[in-house]
């Protein structure tokens, strides 16, 4: 009994200490997406370029859905990676122009280059809510059936592409064959 009453508080202390220690390094800013393994939400909107777009216009293969805006500085950092991916034909990239203005978006694409097959114009942020977006940039990996399989919040640079997206894509291809 006396042994137990000595070791119990010690064990308790160790348990709490480990829990708090882990807590220091938890990433509380990146939320898990609720849409993983769910189909892309339906949309019938216009593109930044001004034509009507809906789910039917999405690629019939694995593609990236990138949430961007002309006001978004980190988007400039990931831009070269998106440009490379689309120029080299590695994967199609569809844009969501989130809480932006059409004119500014058009200018931004003209200045920096346009990696997107098309960009869904979401000035009100309403489509972003259906996606569970909480700020640009975010990038979703969508499979050939239009199901969302992975989300990355914040900048998608070459190392994120190598370390997170390529393995996720390899997994999708494996399960498809």
Partner 1 sequence: MNSTATELNRKVFLTLISIVVLLCSLLLPNTTYSQVDTFEFDTEEQQDRFRTLSDELRCPMCQNSSLSGSTGGVAEDLRREVYRMIMEGMSDSEINQFMFERYGDFILFRPRLTAGTVFLWFGPLLFLFIGGLFAFGIWRRARKITDSDTELDKTQQKRLQQLLGDKT
Interaction of residue 134 with partner 1, rule CB under 8 A: yes
State how far the Cα of 151 lies from the Cα of 128, in Å rounded to an integer. Answer: 13
Interaction of residue 32 with partner 1, rule CB under 8 A: yes
What's the min distance (Å) between Cβ of 98 and partner 1? 9
Interaction of residue 124 with partner 1, rule CB under 8 A: yes
Residues 42-71: x where in contact with partner 1 by CB under 8 A, - otherwise, as a string? ------------------------------
CA distances from 54 to 42, 99, 118 (A): 7, 18, 11
**Closer residue to partner 1 in complex, CB, 130/158:** 130
- Specify the residue for token string 């259906």: 130
- Geometric angle at alpha carbon 158, from 69 and 84, rounded to 5°: 70
**Closer residue to partner 1 in complex, CB, 99/152:** 99
Cβ(48)–Cβ(119) under 8 Å? yes
Residues found near partner 1 in the complex (CB under 8 A) = 28-29, 31-35, 99, 124-126, 128-135
């Amino acid at each position: 009994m006396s042994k137990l009453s000595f070791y119990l508080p010690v064990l308790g202390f160790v348990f709490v200490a480990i829990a708090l220690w882990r807590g220091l390094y938890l990433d509380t800013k990146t939320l898990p997406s609720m849409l993983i393994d769910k189909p892309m939400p339906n949309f019938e909107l216009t593109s930044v370029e001004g034509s009507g777009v809906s789910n039917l216009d999405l690629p019939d293969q694995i593609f990236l859905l990138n949430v961007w805006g002309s006001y978004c500085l980190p988007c400039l950092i990931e831009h070269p990676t998106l440009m490379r991916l689309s120029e080299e034909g590695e994967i199609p990239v569809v844009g969501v122009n989130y809480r932006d203005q059409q004119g500014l978006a058009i200018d931004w694409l003209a200045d920096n280059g346009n990696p997107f097959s098309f960009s869904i114009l979401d000035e009100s942020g309403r489509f972003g809510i259906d996606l569970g977006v909480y700020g640009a940039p975010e990038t979703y990996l969508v499979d050939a059936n239009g199901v969302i399989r992975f989300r990355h919040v914040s900048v998608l640079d070459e190392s994120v592409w190598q370390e997170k997206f390529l393995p996720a894509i390899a997994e999708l291809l494996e399960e498809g064959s």
